[in-house]
A and B are shown apart, each in its own frame.
Chain A
């Protein structure tokens, strides 16, 4: 079952899908290198599934190309594409046992002796003894693994995974993330993994594309996106950010000078998406440190002063809210490493940060400060 088609990268070129007047996927272009683990991350309804369905051939694009190597497959019928999908709902065949579910793709391509391959696949997903069961007799996690085996056995050039772990509880989800990553490394197939869980995207993928309203907001390695987001949306979708509305006055001596709420800050030029005009000065909550007074701030650091209005102890860290003089509440996370002392609610405090940890994003005139609400979900909650 070797494939003659030239292997290669998956490229989407100006891919667009409209439902009536509604644009679900808007002029999307990206390249997924062969053999990489690519995550498409975005909120519910942003067009992730529609994008996958166009790659799989289950949805016809309104415009644009889906290229596999040099071949445009956008108009091929789904059963003619060397692409397989792990569906959000698994979509296992209820009338077939697990063995036949996994063998389905091989049989449709006229392969007669499937036993060895199926057994190998079942053991890869640790379901060796389940071949004769029906899907309804398996737990959610087991069904998910059958769906994975059923797709993987065909050795597609690209495997599409549509929020495959969404239905699993947290613990099983973490296990499956590790497992999926291991399998991907082992088989070396290109994985395009759709998720709305930013932590899942970051832990698993080589490359993450953050999607918003049918467009890619930013694409890159998880650490690069996290450390230097391109837009305010990304800054607050992937983790949390404190974004202060300010104005930048251009680069001088490798630094960008920013005025925000009457105070002056500076940011290295390499950390500025925009160095002139309206900007957001961004700092991640865990990059902020709390001290009692301004003279405790180490040299070369920037700071703002405020009053602690809330402190939530979450074990691994304490999450503070610091109300600044102009009324914005900044989030500050201090690691529970034993080094820092607890700061009582109501006391004055100074938050400082290393200038190299801040970033500048361009800002619309209507935008003011943006700080993510304190959510009990995902950031740091389980790390």
Chain B
């Protein structure tokens, strides 16, 4: 028993580099490398952001023709929230439902490609990405055709009485959620795939050897180990989906409009810049709040 006491307790750390060994030039290099990106961010993100912030505080009585005055009109925020809270709720509701659907579709898909596809792996991955080679708009328009009232799908559903004789798919919340699910699915699947691909199946054998049923092995081993991909995938799905307006525009009616549609019309139709800017900021804040709340729970590894 005593022999084991001599077992080394860990591999030695490499000796730290003495500070003197790093010349000034080497210390500057990382910052120099950051410079182009930082400049880009400043010019094309920072400046517009400040401008947008300013616009959200313009006097709401101004207009493009008469000009706007920066009057620090914080009242714009409660005003737009009061006017458009249903669209806010709808945005997060639709995006949330679409996320759940995408998880139900995407997790098994990513798992199958990563663990079971064998030599078909690459082909299947290409299939996941292939739709992205056509434009977002075209793909959504294609759904419009598929779901249209005199299309084959609606005909079939009416024939088997899954849909009332005058029932429709297009221009319903269902169509919008479907469009969101479809359009953003690859953003969920790809990071998930990357995580699941690295999963060592021998760990699942070990779990099963240690009395874990397949369900328990999934919950205790597969799921926690795919967490990084799951978190990244849900964020990459949820953020653009909750800000989207194309799906509601093309597959829905004004009754299905999301906050993106309101912002779109504020800037481009009603030309109400203060309102559009205030809505944009509120959307950003709401998404950040959701994301941080989610990440904090994910960080504790007990999300599910």
A binding-site residues for B, Cβ under 8 Å: 56-58, 77-79, 83-85, 87, 89, 91-95, 104-105, 108-109, 126, 137-139, 141-142, 150-151, 154, 172, 175, 178-179, 182
Subset of 26 A-B contacts with CB under 8 Å: A57-B209, A77-B213, A79-B209, A79-B210, A79-B212, A84-B210, A91-B205, A93-B221, A94-B225, A95-B301, A104-B220, A108-B207, A108-B211, A108-B216, A109-B211, A126-B4, A139-B7, A139-B9, A150-B210, A151-B210, A175-B3, A175-B4, A175-B7, A178-B3, A179-B1, A179-B4
Known: A91-B203, A93-B207. 20 other contacts (CB 8 A): A57-B209, A58-B205, A58-B208, A79-B209, A79-B213, A87-B202, A89-B202, A91-B206, A92-B206, A94-B225, A95-B221, A95-B301, A105-B211, A138-B10, A139-B7, A139-B10, A142-B9, A154-B210, A172-B7, A179-B4
When chains A and B are docked, how far (Å) is the Cα of A58 from the Cα of B209?
A: 8
Chain B residues positioned under 8 Å from A93 (CB to CB): 203, 206-207, 221
Any A CB within 8 A of the CB of B79: no
Chain B residues positioned under 8 Å from A104 (CB to CB): 207, 210, 212, 220
Q: Are B10 and A126 in contact (CB under 8 A)?
A: no
Q: Are B208 and A78 in contact (CB under 8 A)?
A: yes
Chain B residues positioned under 8 Å from A178 (CB to CB): 3
Chain A residues positioned under 8 Å from B207 (CB to CB): 93, 104, 108
Q: Are A108 and B210 in contact (CB under 8 A)?
A: yes
Known: A56-B209, A78-B209. A91 touches B200 (CB 8 A): yes
Known: A79-B213, A95-B225. A141 touches B206 (CB 8 A): no
Task: Give, as a whole number of angstroms, the nearest-CB distance from B197 to chain A.
Answer: 15
Q: Are A126 and B209 in contact (CB under 8 A)?
A: no
When chains A and B are docked, how far (Å) is the Cα of A78 from the Cα of B204?
A: 11
Task: Give, as a whole number of angstroms, the nearest-CB distance from A295 to chain B.
Answer: 50
Interface on chain B toward A: helix, strand, loop, or mixed SS? helix
Any A CB within 8 A of the CB of B224: yes
Chain A residues positioned under 8 Å from B212 (CB to CB): 79, 104, 108
Chain A residues positioned under 8 Å from B208 (CB to CB): 57-58, 77-79
Determine which residue in A93, A151, A182 has the highest number of CB atoms from chain B within 10 A of its CB, and name it.
Answer: A93
Known: A126-B4, A139-B10, A178-B3. A91 touches B202 (CB 8 A): yes
Which of chain B's residues has its CB closest to A94's CB?
A: B225
Any A CB within 8 A of the CB of B20: no
When chains A and B are docked, how far (Å) is the Cα of A93 from the Cα of B203?
A: 7
Chain B residues positioned under 8 Å from A78 (CB to CB): 205, 208-209
Task: Give, as a whole number of angstroms, the nearest-CB distance from B30 to chain A.
Answer: 27
The size bracket of the interface on B is: 20 to 34
When chains A and B are docked, how far (Å) is the Cα of A56 from the Cα of B200?
A: 18
Chain A residues positioned under 8 Å from B225 (CB to CB): 94-95
Determine which residue in B4, B8, B9, B227 has the highest number of CB atoms from chain A within 10 A of its CB, and name it.
Answer: B4
Q: Are A85 and B4 in contact (CB under 8 A)?
A: no
When chains A and B are docked, how far (Å) is the Cα of A69 from the Cα of B224?
A: 38
Which of chain A's residues has its CB closest to B301's CB?
A: A95
When chains A and B are docked, how far (Å) is the Cα of A137 from the Cα of B5?
A: 18
Task: Give, as a whole number of angstroms, the nearest-CB distance from B224 to chain A.
Answer: 5
Chain A residues positioned under 8 Å from B205 (CB to CB): 58, 78, 87, 91
Chain A residues positioned under 8 Å from B209 (CB to CB): 56-58, 78-79, 83-85, 151
Chain B residues positioned under 8 Å from A56 (CB to CB): 209
Any A CB within 8 A of the CB of B23: no
When chains A and B are docked, how far (Å) is the Cα of A84 from the Cα of B210?
A: 7
Any A CB within 8 A of the CB of B17: no
Q: Are B11 and A139 in contact (CB under 8 A)?
A: yes
When chains A and B are docked, how far (Å) is the Cα of A137 from the Cα of B221?
A: 19
Chain B 185-221: CB-based contact to A (< 8 A → 1; otherwise 0): 0000000000000001011011111111100100011
Task: Give, as a whole number of angstroms, the nearest-CB distance from A138 to chain B.
Answer: 8
Which of chain A's residues has its CB closest to B211's CB?
A: A108
Known: A87-B202, A93-B206, A108-B216. A141 touches B211 (CB 8 A): no
When chains A and B are docked, how far (Å) is the Cα of A150 from the Cα of B207?
A: 11
Q: Are A137 and B10 in contact (CB under 8 A)?
A: yes
Chain B residues positioned under 8 Å from A77 (CB to CB): 208, 213
When chains A and B are docked, how far (Å) is the Cα of A89 from the Cα of B203?
A: 10
When chains A and B are docked, how far (Å) is the Cα of A126 from the Cα of B203?
A: 24
Across the interface, B206 reaches (CB within 8 A) one of A83, A87, A175, A182, namely A87
When chains A and B are docked, how far (Å) is the Cα of A46 from the Cα of B195?
A: 34
Task: Give, as a whole number of angstroms, the nearest-CB distance from B229 to chain A.
Answer: 13
Q: Are B202 and A154 in contact (CB under 8 A)?
A: no
Task: Give, as a whole number of angstroms, the nearest-CB distance from B185 to chain A.
Answer: 26
Give the contacts of B1-34 with A (CB-CB under 8 A): 1, 3-5, 7-11
When chains A and B are docked, how far (Å) is the Cα of A84 from the Cα of B1?
A: 24
Q: Are B8 and A105 in contact (CB under 8 A)?
A: no
When chains A and B are docked, how far (Å) is the Cα of A77 from the Cα of B220?
A: 18
Task: Give, as a whole number of angstroms, the nearest-CB distance from A56 to chain B.
Answer: 6
When chains A and B are docked, how far (Å) is the Cα of A151 from the Cα of B211?
A: 11
When chains A and B are docked, how far (Å) is the Cα of A92 from the Cα of B210?
A: 11
Task: Give, as a whole number of angstroms, the nearest-CB distance from A110 to chain B.
Answer: 9
Task: Give, as a whole number of angstroms, the nearest-CB distance from B303 to chain A.
Answer: 13
Determine which residue in B1, B3, B216, B224 has the highest number of CB atoms from chain A within 10 A of its CB, and name it.
Answer: B3
Q: Are B224 and A95 in contact (CB under 8 A)?
A: yes
Which of chain A's residues has its CB closest to B210's CB?
A: A105
Q: Are B211 and A154 in contact (CB under 8 A)?
A: yes
When chains A and B are docked, how far (Å) is the Cα of A141 from the Cα of B212?
A: 26
Chain B residues positioned under 8 Å from A138 (CB to CB): 10
When chains A and B are docked, how far (Å) is the Cα of A137 from the Cα of B8?
A: 12
Chain A residues positioned under 8 Å from B301 (CB to CB): 95
Which of chain B's residues has its CB closest to A126's CB?
A: B4
Task: Give, as a whole number of angstroms, the nearest-CB distance from B300 to chain A.
Answer: 13
When chains A and B are docked, how far (Å) is the Cα of A197 from the Cα of B42?
A: 64
Task: Give, as a whole number of angstroms, the nearest-CB distance from A211 to chain B.
Answer: 22
When chains A and B are docked, how far (Å) is the Cα of A109 from the Cα of B212?
A: 8
Chain A residues positioned under 8 Å from B1 (CB to CB): 126, 179, 182
Task: Give, as a whole number of angstroms, the nearest-CB distance from B106 to chain A.
Answer: 21
